[in-house]
């Protein structure tokens, strides 16, 4: 049982009611890097934020409009409580084995002027960021309030460039833009910015429990000012309550470099500790499976002569996994219903296709030391899924299947609801909690944006919510700059199931057999990276469930596959050694005494001289270097690579990356 070590050091300065117009309070993070001012301005609640003496948020505003009229915007009194907290907690899995959790928190209680309603706000100052959240308690005069506008706004100080994707209430599978802030009119989060002086910030939310997810809308009169915009219900309301409301945290990760954004644990720290008493069944792993072949058009999800998830094919994947130390295989398309795609109640989630003997496949896998990853595609029909949920999880549990990949591709039910509204937040979290009851780990596709809930429910292992590898099989695909942007954008929300590890880069191995399932091939379909870049992505794009996505025949006998076979999926320590958002990133991760150093670059090749001073006291190391070949190029010669044994005796390392390329250096004592 993991122990969470918390020490509540000090609780002081409880003030009696103060007239709102006269109030202001400033407080700092534990190491004084971040300073927050909470103040009232003509009865309105306001805040401002500085980072190492530099203004980051000039003025933010706070409050709600409820039931289209009952405003929590104008206040007559306020009282506060200041708390300093120091703690450290152990992860079940993650990018580090321990997390420091140190902050200063100001708790404010405000009484509205007209109806004397109570609004509670908690502000937290960490050394790597700032956050606030609301609570509206159950109270007289306010029965089951509905949020019709969250009035959270902030004005950014300084000149920024930013990396962002258009807000879409139904999908997160978007390209990212790098523009000035003027162009970022309506954005999804995480919303990542870098100021002219180099300071970086990413705006996101943490602990989305029973609330709508947020986007950010730019003020039409001030491009530096944004308002929280909530994804609505079908009836237009934003957040429905039973009388008590707790919002997600509005979080601002702040640091002096892009590396600081990735190394921050702010989003996790803003979530509650692990509530699962037994976590022995939660195990990170590398997996393979019946998936990429369908996206390539070599087999089908639905029943028929080319159905992929049949008994014979499943056993072929199991044999491959067993022979190569891969812990599990996914069987996507194992159950009936795919042939009825788009119809109500298409899937029952429990009936195998006639050509798949589920019990036999599970028995065979167990005998070979391989786990089966189950799959529940809903087509967006959450009503049907919830009807079958207990039965479906029980069948998996009884068979010993401990991981389930879920999918929500399609319009959701109830009709008219958005993927990212409160209705679906409730659904996803219900599935997460019920999966925990049945000791099932989750890989969620077409999810709501992750918000750190894996700290509280560590069976929520990973999620898609990204324009991932599959797009390279049947569209113009993802450019190399895309994966150089993801660690600083989508990656800040939590683990992503990007499904890297493709070795057949130009998709030529089965070109004559492919039947593109979603329209004619444009002729440019390919994986836009070098082969070694694919290895590096499995280290840089973090997920505790990491898919080696290519076909078994493309891995078998391939020397570079040795890198994947030995790759950990949970880490004791992680560092960003060098990075420029959208251009390149170099990361070092440690498991035990073994270090993996990996890097990727965008369309530009580059040569980097890396400082490895953090290894100085541990030298020498022996290592294996997977690198781009001298003639490698993500379009012209993507599968050119070298593997060399190296001896590291110096704390500097020089490496050349091809255009769209990468490297992996495995170092062992």
What residue spans in the chain does CATH classification 2.60.40.1180 cover? 584-668
For residues 443 and 650, give the distance between their C-alpha atoms in angstroms, rounded to a whole number: 40
Within 13 Å, how many C-alpha atoms sit on residue 142's CB side?
A: 27
Token code pair at residue 59: 């003025």
143 compared with 385, residue with greater pLDDT: 385
Residue with tokens 């500085």: 50
Token code pair at residue 270: 């803003």
For residues 453 and 191, give the distance between their C-alpha atoms in angstroms, rounded to a whole number: 19
Residues classed as catalytic: 470
128 close to 200: Cβ distance less than 8 angstroms: no
Q: What is the pLDDT of residues 282-334, one digit of tens each?
A: 999 999 999 999 999 999 999 999 999 999 999 999 999 999 999 999 999 99
Q: What is the pLDDT of residues 513-557, one digit of tens each?
A: 988 887 766 667 999 999 999 999 999 999 999 999 999 999 999
Fold of 285-563: TIM Barrel (3.20.20)
For residues 81 and 307, give the distance between their C-alpha atoms in angstroms, rounded to a whole number: 62
Quick check: 345 pLDDT over 80? yes
Residue 386 makes CB contacts below 8 A (sequence gap 6+) with: 427, 430
Q: What is the pLDDT of residues 303-314, one digit of tens each?
A: 999 999 999 999
Burial of 591 (0-12, 13-18, 19+ CB in 10 A): middle
Report the top-level CATH class of 584-668: mainly beta
pLDDT for the residue numbered 12 = 36
What residue spans in the chain does CATH classification 3.20.20.70 cover? 285-563
444 close to 428: Cβ distance less than 8 angstroms: yes
Given pLDDT bands bounded at 50, 70 and 90, which one contains residue 628? very high
- Read out DSSP for 642-654? EEEEEEE-SSEEE
Tell me which DSSP letter residue 231 carries.
Answer: P
Q: What is the pLDDT of residues 570-606, one digit of tens each?
A: 999 999 999 999 999 999 999 999 999 999 999 999 9
pLDDT for the residue numbered 20 = 66
Q: Which residues pair with 217 in a beta bridge?
A: 186, 227
483 close to 472: Cβ distance less than 8 angstroms: no
For residues 21 and 117, give the distance between their C-alpha atoms in angstroms, rounded to a whole number: 17
Provide the percentage of residues in the chain whose pLDDT is more than 90: 93
Provide the percentage of residues in the chain whose pLDDT is more than 70: 96
Q: What is the pLDDT of residues 222-279, one digit of tens each?
A: 999 999 999 999 999 999 999 999 999 999 999 999 999 999 999 999 999 999 999 9
pTM of the model: 0.96
Q: What is the pLDDT of residues 404-456, one digit of tens each?
A: 999 999 999 999 999 999 999 999 999 999 999 999 999 999 999 999 999 99
3-state SS class at 86:
strand
Determine how many CB atoms are found less than 10 A away from the CB of residue 332: 23
Residue with tokens 């994707």: 165
What residue spans in the chain does CATH classification 2.70.98.10 cover? 4-269
Fold of 4-269: Beta-galactosidase; Chain A, domain 5 (2.70.98)
If you average pLDDT over residues 335-346, what whole number do you get?
95
């Amino acid at each position: 049982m993991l122990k969470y070590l918390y020490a509540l050091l000090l609780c002081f300065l409880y003030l009696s009611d103060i007239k709102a117009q006269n109030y202001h309070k400033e407080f700092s993070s534990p190491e004084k890097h971040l300073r927050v001012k909470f103040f009232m301005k003509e009865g309105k609640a306001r805040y401002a934020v500085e980072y190492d003496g530099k203004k980051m948020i000039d003025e933010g505003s706070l409050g709600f409009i409820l039931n289209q009229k009952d405003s929590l915007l104008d206040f007559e009194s306020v009282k506060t409580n200041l708390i300093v907290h120091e703690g450290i907690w152990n992860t079940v899995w993650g990018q580090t084995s321990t997390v420091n959790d140190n902050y200063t928190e100001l708790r404010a209680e405000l009484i509205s002027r007209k109806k004397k309603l109570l609004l509670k706000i908690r502000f937290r100052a960490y050394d790597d960021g700032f956050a606030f959240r609301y609570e509206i308690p159950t109270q007289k005069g306010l029965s089951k309030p509905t949020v019709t506008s969250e009035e959270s706004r902030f004005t950014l100080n300084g000149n920024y460039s930013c990396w962002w994707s258009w807000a879409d209430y139904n999908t997160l599978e978007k390209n990212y833009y790098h523009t000035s802030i003027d162009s970022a009119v309506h954005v999804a989060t995480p919303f990542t910015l870098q100021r002219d002086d180099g300071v970086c910030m990413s705006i996101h939310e943490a602990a989305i429990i029973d609330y709508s997810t947020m986007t950010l809308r730019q003020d039409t009169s001030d491009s530096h000012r944004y308002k929280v915009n909530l994804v609505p219900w079908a009836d237009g309301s934003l957040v429905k309550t039973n009388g008590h409301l707790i919002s997600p945290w509005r979080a601002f990760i702040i640091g002096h470099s892009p590396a600081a954004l990735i190394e921050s644990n702010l989003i996790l720290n803003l979530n509650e500790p692990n509530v699962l008493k037994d976590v022995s069944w939660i195990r990170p792993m590398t997996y393979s499976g019946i998936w990429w072949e369908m996206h390539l058009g070599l087999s089908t999800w639905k029943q028929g002569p080319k159905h992929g998830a049949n008994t014979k094919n499943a056993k072929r994947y199991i044999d491959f996994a067993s022979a190569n130390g891969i812990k599990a295989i996914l069987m996507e398309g194992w159950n009936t219903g795919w042939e009825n795609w788009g119809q109500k109640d298409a899937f029952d989630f429990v009936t195998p296709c006639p050509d798949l003997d589920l019990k036999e496949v599970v028995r065979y896998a167990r005998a070979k030391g391989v786990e089966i990853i189950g799959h529940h595609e809903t087509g967006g029909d959450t009503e049907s899924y919830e009807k079958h949920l207990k039965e479906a999880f029980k069948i998996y549990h009884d068979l010993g299947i401990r991981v389930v990949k879920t999918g929500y591709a399609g319009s959701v039910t109830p009709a008219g609801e958005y993927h990212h509204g409160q209705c679906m937040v409730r659904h996803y979290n219900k599935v997460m909690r019920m999966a925990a009851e049945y000791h099932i780990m989750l890989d969620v596709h077409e999810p709501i944006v992750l918000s750190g809930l894996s700290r509280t429910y560590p069976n929520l292992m990973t999620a898609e919510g990204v324009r991932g590898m599959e797009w390279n099989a049947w569209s113009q695909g993802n450019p190399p700059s895309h994966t150089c942007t993801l660690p600083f954008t989508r990656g800040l929300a939590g683990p992503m199931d990007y499904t890297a590890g493709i070795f057949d880069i130009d998709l030529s191995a089965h070109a004559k057999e492919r039947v593109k399932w979603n329209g004619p091939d444009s002729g440019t379909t390919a994986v836009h990276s070098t082969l070694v870049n694919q290895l590096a992505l499995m280290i840089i794009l973090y997920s505790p469930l990491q898919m080696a996505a290519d076909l078994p025949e493309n891995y078998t006998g391939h020397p570079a596959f040795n890198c994947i076979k030995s790759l950990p999926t949970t880490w004791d320590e992680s560092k960003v050694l060098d990075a420029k958002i959208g251009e390149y990133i170099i990361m070092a991760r440690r498991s035990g005494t073994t270090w993996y150093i990996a890097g990727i670059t965008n369309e530009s090749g580059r040569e980097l001289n890396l400082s490895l001073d953090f290894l100085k006291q541990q030298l020498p190391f022996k290592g294996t270097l997977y690198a781009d070949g001298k003639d490698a190029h993500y379009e012209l010669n993507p599968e050119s690579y070298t593997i060399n044994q190296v001896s590291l005796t110096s704390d500097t390392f020089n490496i050349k990356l091809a255009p769209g390329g990468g490297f992996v250096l495995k170092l062992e004592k």
